[in-house]
Amino acid sequence: MKHTFVLVSVLVSLSGFIAAQNSQQPDSLFGPARSVADVKDIRVPDAEPGRSAAEINNQAVRLFRQKESNKAVELFRYAITKDPKLVPAYHNLAKSLVFLDRNEEAALVYRELTQLEPDVPGNYNEMGISLYSTGNLTESTVAFAEAVKLEPQNVGYLCNLGTSLIGMKEYEKATENFEKAVKLQPANARALNNLGVGLYLEKRFSDAETYLNRSLLLEPNSAGTNFNLGVLFAATGKHKKAYEHFEKAVELRPNWPIAQYSLALVALKIGKRDEAFDHFEALKAIDPALAEKVRTAMTSSFVVKAN
């Protein structure tokens, strides 16, 4: 029975929207990068030609807060065309794009910010999160590594780098970063969970159990950590313990398909056929494809109940 682990990453985001002042912005420390401002035929809603870039940025902030997200994006872009060094507009544009799930575009904006503010680790971290969200693990790993280089004692950046490395199957390197995070903050439940995952993937099962349990002691109602312990126990043949943790994960997150699926399969392993059928029924409503896999497993061991 194959399971998927859940990495509970610490994604450290920058603060909220930034209102630009009418002061002079600092010059760029690098030459001009490929600019997100170079967009043809920008439609500019309600922007008066005589207004400053800072005023346009602030108007866009207000529009975003009024849930006019797409108009806000256009205005942030327009502010940048008027003043390509207006750093708050880049931050606000990137945040708006992330909110709209336009992560590829957001990553380009954060790349711009690394040119304008090359010594700010948060820009690389945010770029890494956007790249990771698009599945670009190679570049997300590079971005997180740069954030860690600039701020090596930031637990969030270390966890993000480790998470990206896990995606690239660089398990030993990932574990090294999680270990650094735990050393810095021994009571950080998310770092402990992630270290447990890394150790599991290195097949260091006993150590993995230790750190996952430490994480669970700190956050007993973490669906992710309960799920991860279920995976560990299922993989090591401790199916009753696996059932307990999958059951807790489902209790905490009833509509989580992979948890319902895992619980159903483990229920079959320990002879809880009625419970397996119940979770099969629940899964049909939230993930029919996974439900069909449970049906296949059930029909190989007993006759499925009639609806």
Q: What is the pLDDT of residues 276-304, one digit of tens each?
A: 888 888 888 888 888 888 888 887 765 44
Sign of CA dihedral 23, 24, 28, 33: positive
As a CATH number, domain 220-307 is 1.25.40.10
Is the confidence at residue 191, as pLDDT, over 80?
yes
DSSP string over the chain: ---------------S--PPPSSPPPPPSSPPPPPTT--TT---TT--TTS-HHHHHHHHHHHHHTT-HHHHHHHHHHHHHH-TT-HHHHHHHHHHHHHTT-HHHHHHHHHHHHHHSTT-HHHHHHHHHHHHHTT-HHHHHHHHHHHHHH-TT-HHHHHHHHHHHHHTT-HHHHHHHHHHHHHH-TT-HHHHHHHHHHHHHTT-HHHHHHHHHHHHHH-TT-HHHHHHHHHHHHHTT-HHHHHHHHHHHHHH-TT-HHHHHHHHHHHHHTT-HHHHHHHHHHHHHH-HHHHHHHHHHHHTTSPPPP-
| pLDDT in the model for residue 278 | 85
pTM recorded for the entire structure: 0.81
Dihedral pair phi/psi, residue 18, rounded to 5°: -110, 125
Confidence check: pLDDT of 265 > 70: yes
pLDDT tier at 29 (50, 70, 90 boundaries)? very low
pLDDT by residue (tens digit) across 97-154?
999 999 999 999 999 999 999 999 999 999 999 999 999 999 999 999 999 999 999 9
Mean pLDDT computed over 183-192: 95
- 8-19+26-203 and 220-307 in the same fold: yes
Check whether 17 has a pLDDT greater than 60. no
Show me where the domains of the chain are located.
Answer: 8-19+26-203, 220-307
Q: Is residue 40 very low, low, confident or very high in pLDDT (cuts 50, 70, 90)?
A: very low
- What pLDDT, on a 0 to 100 scale, did the predictor assign at position 201? 93
Confidence of residue 47 (pLDDT cuts 50, 70, 90): low
CA distance 305 to 101: 42
Q: Is the domain defined by 8-19+26-203 classed in CATH 1.25.40.10?
A: yes
Task: Write down the pLDDT at residue 251.
Answer: 95
The residue that leads in pLDDT, 15 or 158, is 158
Tens digits of residue pLDDT in 210-235: 999 999 999 999 999 999 999 999 99
Higher pLDDT, 39 or 86: 86
Mean pLDDT score of the chain: 83
Percent of the chain with pLDDT over 70: 82
User: Which residue did the predictor score with more confidence, 295 or 245?
Assistant: 245
- The one-letter amino acid at 120: V
